[in-house]
Amino acid sequence: MNKVITKKIKSFDNARSSLDETIFHNANGYIGVRGTIEEGVPAEWDTMRGMYINGFYEVIPMKQAENLCNFVDKKETMLNVCDTQTIKLNVNGHDFSLFSGKTLLNERTLDMEAGITKRNIRWQSPKGDKVGLEIKRMTSFEELSLFTIEYSVTAENFDCELVLRSLHLPEVYNYSDPNDPRLAADSEKFLHCITADIKDSVSYTVTETNVSKLKCATLVAHTISAKNSRICVSKTDDNTIIYDAVVPIKKGQTITLTKYTIITDSLRHKDPLEVGFKKIEAVLKNGIDHYYEAQKAYLSGFWSKAMMEIENDNEMSLAVNFNMYQLLQSAAKDSYGNIAAKGLSGEGYEGHYFWDTEMFMMPFFVLTNPELAKQLLKYRYQTLDKARENAQFLGHKKGALFPWRTITGVECSGYYPSGTCQYHIDGDIAYAIINYYLVTGDLDFIRDFGEEILLETARLWLDVGFFDGDRFVINMVTGPDEYTCMVNNNYYTNMVAKYNLEWAVKLFSILEEKGMTGKLKKKIKLHDAELTEMSQAAEKMYLPFDEKSGIIPQDDSFFDKPVWDLSKTPKGNFPLLLHYHPLHLYRYQVCKQADTVMAFLLFSQVMDKEIMRRTYEYYEKITTHDSSLSKCAFSVVAANLGMREKAYSYFGNSAKLDLMNLHHNTKDGIHTANMGGCYMSVVYGFAGLSITEKGLSLAPFLPDKWEGYSFKICFMGSVLLVEIDSENVKISLISGDPVEITLYDKKVKLMDKTATKSLLR
């Protein structure tokens, strides 16, 4: 299946440029580079020329008008760490620019099997000289610190001397938009240069943050194919390092400048500059072709398990593969980072990690790359102590409350009603840990990391909730819907809390039977009475239900509010959060995103289908989908309820959200949660995948617009291929030990790379 996206750009304007900066960004989970064009754009254009490190941050003030007890008054923000993207070309006295001369071809490509982006340009200077440019970019999956630009110029109809100027700028600014709460309000320079110099033609800089005192080292080296080039490397007073190459070129000849950037940081290395020099030396020794081949090999392994193909719909197939590739680019490969709401593609939400990872992205990694899923969960374990501190700040005597938005584990949400108050994040993380265990059977992970999180989050539920007669209630929390805040007994929150409590006890019992609890019990001072209380709270958890309508209310007071008339709301007033005061929104029945419906996505196998259907149809009428997390959830639940056309409609909007810029803000970065949700729409929705204690089950259907679809999943260490066409469902064991699954309520055992077939229902 083709995994190459190519766009021929006929009209190059600011909107097109800003969008392409996101679509054609390069990232590998450690570093991310916006797809800005090397030669730059006009000064008046809106551009986000960023290079980022996952988990690297500065602490900045967050002013509170009334700074009450333990209000958050500072936050962490992801930084633009340097600019090594700039390369300028002068052709016979004229600077190459898409805004002068004549552009004969302007094409951009993302190759998801080669792991590169590419620009192909044919340009004619005002003098009539024609050049062809091919510019390749890569962030290496083998050497995570490495970003490369291979800049090739072909002289089509002239002989002359080309001048190539490549810049290394250590002091840069972050992007800002004071009119959008999803972006930082102030443009600041958070790093100052403490070292900038040149050694053996390698430029190197070290910058340091003002408050967090983190250091970033960047090293840049160049090679050029023309042996008779005249090279000069110099430094300016503002610490910009300039590489100039004067290159004689003849008609029909091609010359190539290769620019290597190494980025390291003091979070991961005691001396990032020393490490950087070792890495740049190895990179120059290996050469660019080595890293291209390694990139292909890495991605071949990725696609061998993450494969998803849709027959007779190449556009949709390309969209779902684009989304999976972006998830890989966004995911941290170590425990210092996680997956930001915009990945490493832009500065939307300031590089913060949300519940998005566990609920929308983790299912993809658990089913295609369990080792990476485990690494992402370990990040939460690394921040568990800070979650304990966060709980104490909010007045809790025990337990851990993970922050709503964060980089290091510290709460970075200044508006607590729709931020910190979303306690469900504890249940979301617990759910992800349990799901990982059910797919992998990795009890060692549960012993070493997972159970401690489950018990500490369970303790939090006991502290925030209480027994009210014969029921356990949880008051003053906010569910996923940010247009309804600080309520009693949010249905989704109570459901994930119940699940969290049940499994904390259940997995402790499993570990205890194997003699694996002694160390943990002593470490967290766990008493048997706590486990009993957890079981009782789970059993008596109050789940709101309106007997009269047969519908599940989002919370205790939701049905007491008037319904917002969405049909009379001007189209220009969406998203509502940018046009109405929060208090005004809170007084109505109007949902930003799936909330109760989100509970159906997680727990449909234990719920009454008719109640789900009535409830789904009710919330569908009052949900704006102003959040990119919403439509994928509605798609999965519609599929599980047999609403096939509706499921596909929501999926279509979800799958192409960024490629089609459907929310009109992709310029600020990709929507990683929606991309994970797109995968879930196919696998959990259309294919009916469900994972419980009983194992893995499938109940696929074929969307009317497709002739067939297929995907691979990992389960208990084995790899399965699922193929659905108009007549049959075929499941094959590709590798690993025999596994038993359920297909349309019938147990099937796959052995020795055999396959099973069943008629499609």
CA–CA distance, 637 with 602 (Å, rounded to integer): 9
The two tokens of residue 515 are 């003699």
Active site residue 482: yes
Instruction: Using alpha carbons, select from 291, 292, 203 the residue that is nearest to residue 241.
Output: 203
Provide the phi-psi class of 508: left if phi over 0, else alpha when psi is between -120 and 50, else beta.
Answer: alpha
The residue type found at 231 is I
* DSSP letters spanning 32-63: EE----TT---TTS-----EEETT-EEEEE--
Neighbours of 531 (CB within 10 A): 19
**In Å, what is the CA distance from 2 to each residue of 310, 321, 368, 661, 734?**
11, 9, 20, 22, 22
Strand partners, 393: none
User: 124-128: long-range contacts at Cβ-Cβ below 8 A with a sequence spacing of 24 or more?
Assistant: 125/91, 125/92, 125/94, 125/96, 125/100, 125/101, 126/94, 126/100, 126/101, 127/92, 127/93, 127/94, 128/157
Neighbours of 252 (CB within 10 A): 11
Strand partners, 732: 721, 755
Sign, Cα dihedral of 658, 660, 666, 667: positive
φ, ψ at 188 (rounded to 5°): -135, 160
Catalytic residue from among 58, 482, 502, 533: 482
The two tokens of residue 497 are 């809390």
The residue type found at 135 is I
SS3 601: helix
- Cis peptide leading into residue 575 (ω within 30°): yes
SS3 151: strand
CA–CA distance, 77 with 59 (Å, rounded to integer): 7
Sign, Cα dihedral of 739, 743, 747, 751: negative
Sign, Cα dihedral of 496, 501, 507, 511: positive
Residue with tokens 């799936």: 594
Indicate the helix (H) or strand (E) that contains 756: strand 755-759
Calculate Rg over the CA atoms of the chain.
27
Query: Where would I find the beta strands (DSSP E) of 55-169?
Result: 57-61, 74-78, 87-91, 94-95, 102-111, 116-124, 130-139, 146-155, 160-168
Which letter, b or e, does each residue of 183-201 get, where b requires 16 or more Cβ atoms within 10 Å of its Cβ?
A: bbeeeeebbebeebeeeee
* CB-based burial label for 62 (10 Å; 0-12, 13-18, 19+): middle
Which residues 6+ apart lie within 8 Å of 522 measured at CB?
none
CA–CA distance, 486 with 600 (Å, rounded to integer): 21
φ, ψ at 277 (rounded to 5°): -65, -40
* DSSP letters spanning 516-532: --HHHHHHHT--HHHHH
CA dihedral angle for residue 377, residue 326, residue 303, residue 440, rounded to 10 degrees? 20
The catalytic site residues sit at 482
